[in-house]
Structure 1
Amino acid sequence: MNLLLRLIVTALLVMGISYFLPGVHVDGFVTALIVAVVLALLNLFVKPILVLFTLPVTIFTLGLFLLVINALVIMLCDYIVGGFDVSSFLTALLFSIILSVFQSILFSFSKD
């Protein structure tokens, strides 16, 4: 149940961010829900591999390169999901930062 709630909250955040951030377009709530699922799967399977391969750069930049990895995951999600469009890398970077901040705030209210 907690996973389903997190996916719905993430989908709502994706919809909300797409309204306020120019360069991000989501067709509807179903597409946002698919984006949330794909992002969860990419963060589960692809992101650890990217972090492992870029570990020296991440250490050298004191962890700031993880923001670039998050933007790359957003752009990969844009490539996979039809109806979800991110115009540029900078937009994906800003989208990932905003999404991460709001997820951290909203998920901090959760008991788990």
Structure 2
Amino acid sequence: RDKLLQRFMGEKSGRDSIWEAHMAAEVRKTNVSMSVLLGEKAMSIADLQGLEIGQTIALHKSPDDALDIACGGVKLAQGQIGQRSGKVAVRLINDVSSDKKVKQ
């Protein structure tokens, strides 16, 4: 701890704007894994064991319902499922951190 608190040769006192800008740029380049929760279903272990290939699990959600978008288990926003260029996509509809709604 004492070594970490010691100043090193050439260190500036106060804020280092060059270092802060570099760190901010590097953080923006960082890749993260996002997840979109389609739904949840409570079931007994017996029901889970009885599942077979091709069986349908009803999630009690409408295709128009908002889906939670999360990163590292933290809910960041909500989206709506759709399709783009023949692939499944999720369109952002609100930002949880600021309660902003996206125009539809």
TM-score range, shorter chain: under 0.3
| Higher fraction of strand | 2
| Higher fraction of helix | 1
TM-score, with normalisation over the residues of structure 1? 0.22
TM-score, with normalisation over the residues of structure 2? 0.22
Bigger RCO of structures 1 and 2 (CA < 8 A, at least 6 apart):
1
